[in-house]
Amino acid sequence: MPARVLSIGNCAADNAALAGLIEGRFDAQLTPVAGHADARRVLQQEDWNLVLVNRVGDADGGSGLELIEWLVSARPEMPCMLLSNFPDAQAQAQAAGARPGFGKAALAAPETLASLEAVLQRGARTG
C-alpha cells in the first residue's frame, strides 16, 4: 500500500511539482488540501505517513507554523514538515516538533530527498 502524504496550503502548480517528486521517487500518493480548516478536519479523521505544510496557506493565508504546532500537539505520532525557503521558519517548525523540511526551490536537492526518504523509506523506489 502506498504511503499517504497530505499537502496543506499549496497552490495547484506546487502540488503538481510535489506529486511529481513524491510519487515519482517513492511508493506514495500525495493528497492536497487547500485550507487549514479542511486540513484540521482531515487530520483529525485520517492517518497520514507524512504531512507537508506550506509556510503560508495559498487558499486562506493561514500560518503553517501555527498548523504545525496544533498538529504536533493533537497528533504527535504523525510526522510533518514545513515547506519554506526561509531558514528561520524551518528552525521554528523544528522547534515546534516538525521534522526537517525543505523549500520549494530545493525540491530536487539531495537533502530534500534524504528528508523525505527518512519518512517514506519503506516505500522508496529504486532507480
Q: Where are the domains of the chain?
A: 3-123
Q: pLDDT tens string for the chain (127 positions)?
A: 899 999 999 999 999 999 999 999 999 999 999 999 999 999 999 999 999 999 998 889 899 999 999 999 999 999 999 999 999 999 999 999 999 999 999 998 999 999 999 999 854 444 4
Cα torsion 48, 54, 55, 59: sign:
negative
For the whole model, what pTM was predicted?
0.92
Residue 106 CA to its chain's centroid (Å): 14
Q: What is 3-123's CATH number?
A: 3.40.50.2300
Note the pLDDT of residue 123: 47
Note the pLDDT of residue 127: 41
Residue 74 CA to its chain's centroid (Å): 16
Residue 30 β-bridge partners: 5
Q: Using an 8 Å Cβ cutoff, are 52 and 23 in contact?
A: no
